[in-house]
Structure 1
Amino acid sequence: MSSRAVSPAPPRYRPQTIWDARHAFFDEGTAPVGLVDDAVLRSWRRCSENGQEVGEPVEFQPVDRTGVARLLQTHRELLDAARPELADLAGSVADAGYAVLLTDRHGHALAVDGAIAQRSAPLRLAFRAGVDLSESAIGTNAMAVAIREAQPIRVLGAEHFYTETQIFHCSAAPVFDPQGEVIGAVDVSRDMPGMVDSTLWLAARCAQRIERRLFRRRQAYVHVEIDAGSGTCTEAAGSGAWLAFGESGELVAANRAARSLMGLPPQALQVNFDSLFVERFGAWVSALRRSAQGAPLRLQDGVRLRAVALDGTAVAPPARVAVAARPATADAARPVFGDARLAREFDRALRALRAGLPLLVTGETGTGKEVTARALHAAGPRATGPFVALNCAAVPGELLAGELFGHVEGAFTGSRRSGAIGKVEAAHGGTLFLDEIGDMPLPLQVALLRVLDGKEVVRLGCNQPRPVDVSVVCATHRHLQQMVAQGVFREDLMYRLCGHTLHLLPLREREDFDAAVDALLQRFGAHAGRVGPALRARLRALPWHGNLRQLAHAVQRALALAEPDAELSIEDFGVDSGPIADAPRSAGLLEAITEQTIAAALQRAGGNVTLAARQLGIGRATLYRRLKRRPD
């Protein structure tokens, strides 16, 4: 925890001392040095200079509903990294009556956890998403001071600037981004005195864990923690100084502690490994790979250090490659479906994957195609290998080939120095997930087909093929058969990708709508009782064209905008409450896709039912029964 100043321990709460300081500052106009923390005193000065009066009423006004939704969307990356850590922190302090809060760098509340329902009305009003908790809005408070001073701080009782907020007792720590800039704060508060000293340490630890998550998500070739001499870099004893380098040794990220350790100015990223250290980057990375104890480093001025892989991963796959961690067991990776049909289809798809068949996952937008693909990978035979995802619709056509196949140095204008590995090659030994495969341009479809058939890839600008062994899972919301008929998707590639098709039902047709709502409520820290039976019935009747993704956003929005612990209403969800208008059913689509797949298999097999059944991964008798059900 040496990356942030948490010690020495703050003094115990001494109300009379604080009141003496207030009297000196507000009544006599003198500086009460030594009676309150200097950071608190500086905050009092800022508030006074801004024309704020201690007796003014304080209103905890959230931004408008649209503003809350926009705020949460803007800080989604921070929220995703923070939620598990906030939940862990809340589990430590909730029984003692503490509430937990995350703010952005401007002091706007983003997420709340812990003992909220049992707290006073002012605290419940303050701890709502969107509320402005900055100094300019509510005066001196721990979150605002921690952000402004870039250090952990306690603000107890009468240390708060305004009279109305003096019931609060708060400990807060700033959250820094991978470049060492403050992006938010973690706060632990309650509305009664007797705050335990450890709350400041807990807030600082939570902030550092969030920072670690954010740092590990920074795309880089290698993430390391610098050991300045203790011999170990654990979460409890480590330096908290983190560095991330690209494939060529360029500095991608350096957090606040690392910059302080090495004397790097803020935002200095035009730095290379070789300019910082005596070692050569390539040889040093090889040494890091070989040793669980890390690899030595020596700064150019001769100072000796040691670096260990951050979170135990020596070298991550190259930039922009997402790798899924293997679950403890295959069963742990299997998603829990409340819909029996989906559970059966998932098991069938898993059997097909284990048999080596390529999978096509179909379904409307927001049905969870990538989540399902990740679950199939984690429960499948390649769970120890990488899961590499590429959204074919998210990358411009002219750049997609480089993303997919990689390139050598100088292959095209703007190509990376020393080249770059492609998604296909990065997925070697694991699973390649191609989302929105229907949006892939025709020329690339030809190249992909050659890769899949030849099991080798050639980087752009190179003639040397590289062998690859990947399991392929594709996904689309489009009808590939129709696209083939329209001439915009290759028929041979469609057959190559459709070894087995898993169709995900839209939300309006699933049998587990209530279970999905309850799971989302739990994810966002709310209890199932906040959505009553009448509201559930109204929600079930909606079309949900955005499916699970739309429902998740709607639940998150409702919880952010509603009063704490109040039962939610349809207005909180911000969705059209009208009836479904001729919503398409999936049964017909699934039947059509099945028929298309069977017809394609029979065509490839020249009418041989036994061979076609083997290609489909089903028994010959099953295929015969299916054919007999066809209309004449």
Structure 2
Amino acid sequence: MSLPPSRRAAGGPRQLFSTTRAERVALARQQFFEEGVRPSGLVGEQVIQSWMRCTRAHTDRGRLIAFDPVTPSRLHATLNRNHELLDAARAELQTMESSLAGTDSRVLLTDAQGVIVHVTHNPSAPAQPILCKTARLGVNIAESVVGTTAPGIVTCTGQACTVDGAEHYFDYLREMQCAAAPIRDVHGRLAAVLDITVEARPFGFDAASMVALYATTIENRLLLAQSADRLVLRFQASPGLLGTPLEALAGVGPDGSVEWLNAAGARLIGRLPESGPRDVERVFGLDLRTLLRLGRRDAAQPVRLASGLGVWLRARLQAPDGVDFRHAVGVTAAPGTSIPAIEPLLSDSPAPAVADDGTLRGHSRKLIEETLATHGGNISHAARQLRVSRGTLYRRLRSWQQDDPLGE
């Protein structure tokens, strides 16, 4: 039995669960913008917070959005600044676009400031007047410019979200549906936002799950690309999850400290402390030498973390010039040979053996010198075992000579 209009107006309970989503959003807008009431339960908290920010910055919700002009020089600078991100995202963006080719949805990738650095163009899609204006390279779609949108909220908060229809702050964008997720770098900072947007119709699929999956994959690729000269650990409770978006990743720096974890890694190990020791043995329960020896194996190995949790782990040390030391870890010098066998390549004066100082750099240098010693100083044979070119090996040796010309 419904309440009389007089009782509803007097503050009777609203029948929220009997309304459609569109009606709930309309009621939320009425409460927030006209009555000054917080519409909790009608729309998500992220949308409410965005409305609050937009109310302070934009007074006229009915106005048209003015976009800054995109000049060639500005666009070139933006793309150049984000080349590492675009390289990491390229394969996944192509896969996404192929998957969405039969829909009217578009894929947008923005940088941390909300500037579009990649966008899908679908010539076969019906007229999309709003997307034609907004979905262009170099256009800034940050919340400060276009109000409440999914990518705008992610840029502000770093949290994935969806924004549907009238949840957008400006009336101009009421026909839009968007879902976005963050992409972070090795420092834990927001590096980009991945978004799926459609105009004048619902998605017809779970856009939030799809964008989260691809954002995670792009983030993992970006973390790996930014981890040159780092020991990268891949681990999970099941070996079948390695190499998938669900794998946990960690980057170990030259000093043996854990520099970063991806989201899956943080869930298995816990957040890294903001300050204090991050020693890999304290975090993983395995010292650096053990992890490097695990790197000799192509297959993941079962290990037990410091917490007691059993996981499958694969380690790889990738140098900035492409040297992969997985197959050199643990090589020992041949009987009767010594590390100084490489000294003719470096200088005319004897060079003492380099001690393993417990860092990745020390391990790498020691492994190269031991491999050279094993092969009697033969660069070609050593390069073949290390799976690098002779030129790469020569460059490494010369760089050490420049760093320590007196062999001290």
Category of TM-score, reference length = shorter chain: 0.7 to 0.9
Counterpart of 2:257 in structure 1 is 250
> Helix, strand or coil: the match of 1:54?
coil
1:64 Cα deviation from its structure 2 partner: 2.5
Task: Indicate yes or no: 2:166 matched with 1:193.
Answer: no
Counterpart of 2:10 in structure 1 is none
Check 1:153–1:13 CA distance in 2 against 1; reply closer, same or farther (3 A cut).
farther
Mapped partners of 2:187, 2:291: distance in 1: 23
- Greater shift after overlay, 421-430 or 246-255? 421-430
Contact between 2:323 and 2:388, CA under 8 Å: does it hold in 1?
no
Equivalent AA in structure 2 for residue 224 of structure 1: L
Task: Indicate yes or no: 2:23 matched with 1:16.
Answer: yes
Task: Indicate yes or no: 2:309 matched with 1:304.
Answer: yes
Contact between 1:284 and 1:295, CA under 8 Å: does it hold in 2?
no
Equivalent AA in structure 1 for residue 91 of structure 2: P
Contact between 2:356 and 2:362, CA under 8 Å: does it hold in 1?
yes
- Greater shift after overlay, 229-238 or 76-85? 229-238
Counterpart of 1:264 in structure 2 is 271
Contact between 2:255 and 2:360, CA under 8 Å: does it hold in 1?
no
TM-score, structure 2 as length reference: 0.73
Mapped partners of 1:410, 1:226: distance in 2: 26
Mapped partners of 2:68, 2:322: distance in 1: 40
2:153 counterpart (145, 157, 169): 145
Task: Indicate yes or no: 2:141 matched with 1:133.
Answer: yes
1:322 Cα deviation from its structure 2 partner: 1.5
TM-score, structure 1 as length reference: 0.49
1:180 Cα deviation from its structure 2 partner: 2.6
Equivalent AA in structure 2 for residue 320 of structure 1: P
2:235 counterpart (218, 226, 234): 226
- Greater shift after overlay, 195-204 or 17-26? 195-204
Mapped partners of 1:461, 1:282: distance in 2: 28
Moved over 6 A (4+): 421-426, 459-463
Check 1:178–1:90 CA distance in 2 against 1; reply closer, same or farther (3 A cut).
same
1:161 Cα deviation from its structure 2 partner: 0.5
Check 1:266–1:171 CA distance in 2 against 1; reply closer, same or farther (3 A cut).
farther
Counterpart of 2:174 in structure 1 is 166
* 1:26-51 superposed Cα distances (whole Å, 9 cap, x missing partner): 11111111111111111111111224
* 1:49-94 superposed Cα distances (whole Å, 9 cap, x missing partner): 2244211211233443211111111111001111221111011112
Counterpart of 2:41 in structure 1 is 34
Mapped partners of 1:27, 1:117: distance in 2: 41
- Greater shift after overlay, 178-187 or 422-431? 422-431
Contact between 1:226 and 1:307, CA under 8 Å: does it hold in 2?
yes
Alignment coverage as a number of residue pairs: 349
Counterpart of 2:316 in structure 1 is 315
* 1:513-555 superposed Cα distances (whole Å, 9 cap, x missing partner): xxxxxxxxxxxxxxxxxxxxxxxxxxxxxxxxxxxxxxxxxxx
Contact between 1:408 and 1:461, CA under 8 Å: does it hold in 2?
no
Counterpart of 1:57 in structure 2 is 64
Mapped partners of 2:262, 2:245: distance in 1: 17
Equivalent AA in structure 1 for residue 217 of structure 2: R
Check 1:268–1:461 CA distance in 2 against 1; reply closer, same or farther (3 A cut).
farther
Contact between 2:213 and 2:245, CA under 8 Å: does it hold in 1?
no
Mapped partners of 1:13, 1:243: distance in 2: 44
Contact between 1:102 and 1:184, CA under 8 Å: does it hold in 2?
yes
Counterpart of 2:77 in structure 1 is 70
Contact between 1:176 and 1:182, CA under 8 Å: does it hold in 2?
yes
1:177 Cα deviation from its structure 2 partner: 1.3
Contact between 2:107 and 2:194, CA under 8 Å: does it hold in 1?
yes
Mapped partners of 2:286, 2:252: distance in 1: 14
1:136 Cα deviation from its structure 2 partner: 0.5
1:266 Cα deviation from its structure 2 partner: 6.9
Counterpart of 1:103 in structure 2 is 110
Check 1:260–1:78 CA distance in 2 against 1; reply closer, same or farther (3 A cut).
same
Q: Which runs of 5+ in 1 are unaligned?
A: 1-11, 325-383, 386-400, 448-458, 464-632
Counterpart of 1:432 in structure 2 is 389
> Helix, strand or coil: the match of 2:42?
coil
Contact between 1:24 and 1:30, CA under 8 Å: does it hold in 2?
yes
Mapped partners of 1:37, 1:116: distance in 2: 34
Task: Write the mapping of 1:433-582 to structure 2, written as runs, cut at 5 A.
Answer: none
Counterpart of 1:123 in structure 2 is 131
> Helix, strand or coil: the match of 2:120?
strand
Check 1:198–1:214 CA distance in 2 against 1; reply closer, same or farther (3 A cut).
same
Contact between 1:95 and 1:115, CA under 8 Å: does it hold in 2?
no
Mapped partners of 1:156, 1:275: distance in 2: 45
Contact between 2:54 and 2:147, CA under 8 Å: does it hold in 1?
yes
Counterpart of 2:185 in structure 1 is 177
Mapped partners of 2:221, 2:79: distance in 1: 18
- Percent identity over paired residues: 25
> Helix, strand or coil: the match of 2:24?
helix
1:277 Cα deviation from its structure 2 partner: 3.1
> Helix, strand or coil: the match of 1:428?
helix
